[in-house]
C-alpha cells in the first residue's frame, strides 16, 4: 500500500515542483505554465484533480458537454472531464494498493496534456475568451485555496456500480 512518504518520493522522482497544502494533499505545479494538479491521499485511493476553468453560467453548453463526453471516450487516456460546483475539472482516481511510479506519472501527465491540448476548443465552446497573456504567478496560490476548499473524498452519492 502506498504511503504519504512513497508519494513524496514519487513526486521528487518525477522532478515536478510540489508542496503539501494540507496533510496528505499535494499541489503539483503545472509544467510550462499549465494549471496545477491536486493530489489527495484518501485511503484506499489517490485522487487527482486539475481545474480547467470556471464555467460561465449564463448560456447553453450543450455543444461543450457533447465535446467533453467525446473527449472522455476518445482522447483522455487517464481520468475524465467533469463538472463540480460550476467548475470544469479533469480528475482521476488511482488505487493505492497497486499504485506504482509509472502509473502516477502517466496519470498526471495525461491530465496536464489533456488540459493543454483541449483548452482552446473548450474555451471557444464555453464562450470564454482565450487569454493572450500567460497565467499569473498567483495561480499557484489560487489553486492551493481551491484545493483546500474541496474535500476530495469519495462520496457514495458520486459512485455507482455497473
Task: Convert the pLDDT of each residue in 37-95 to its tens digit.
Answer: 999 999 999 999 999 999 988 889 999 999 999 999 999 999 999 999 999 999 999 99
Please check the confidence at residue 142 and state whether its pLDDT lies above 90: no
Quick: pLDDT tens for 117-134.
999 999 999 998 766 543
The answer to whether the beta carbons of residues 56 and 39 sit under 8 Å apart is no
Domains of the chain listed by start with CATH number? 4-148 (3.30.1460.10)
Closest CA to 15 of 88, 104, 123: 104
Q: Looking at residue 13, what is its pLDDT?
A: 95
Lowest-confidence pick of 97-101, 119-123, 147-151? 147-151
Please check the confidence at residue 35 and state whether its pLDDT lies above 80: yes
Residue 74 cell numbers, joined: 476518445
Please check the confidence at residue 150 and state whether its pLDDT lies above 80: no
With b for 16 or more beta-carbon neighbours within 10 A and e for fewer, the 39-75 pattern comes to bbbeeebbbbbbbbeebeeeeebeebeebbeebeeee
Amino acid at each position: 500500500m502506498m504511503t504519504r512518504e512513497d508519494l513524496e518520493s514519487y513526486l521528487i522522482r518525477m522532478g515536478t515542483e510540489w508542496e503539501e497544502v494540507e496533510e496528505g494533499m499535494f499541489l503539483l505545479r503545472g509544467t510550462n505554465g499549465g494549471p496545477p494538479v491536486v493530489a489527495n491521499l484518501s485511503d484506499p485511493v489517490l485522487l487527482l484533480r486539475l481545474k480547467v476553468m470556471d464555467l460561465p453560467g449564463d448560456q447553453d453548453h450543450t455543444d461543450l458537454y457533447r465535446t467533453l463526453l467525446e473527449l472522455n471516450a476518445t482522447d483522455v487516456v487517464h481520468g475524465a472531464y467533469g463538472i463540480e460546483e460550476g467548475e470544469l475539472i479533469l480528475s482521476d482516481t488511482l488505487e493505492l494498493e497497486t499504485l506504482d511510479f509509472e502509473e502516477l506519472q502517466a496519470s498526471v501527465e495525461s491530465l496536464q496534456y489533456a488540459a493543454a491540448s483541449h483548452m482552446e476548443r473548450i474555451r471557444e465552446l464555453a464562450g470564454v475568451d482565450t487569454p493572450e497573456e500567460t497565467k499569473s504567478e498567483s495561480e499557484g496560490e489560487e489553486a492551493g485555496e481551491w484545493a483546500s476548499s474541496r474535500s476530495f473524498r469519495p462520496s457514495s452519492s458520486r459512485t455507482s456500480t455497473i
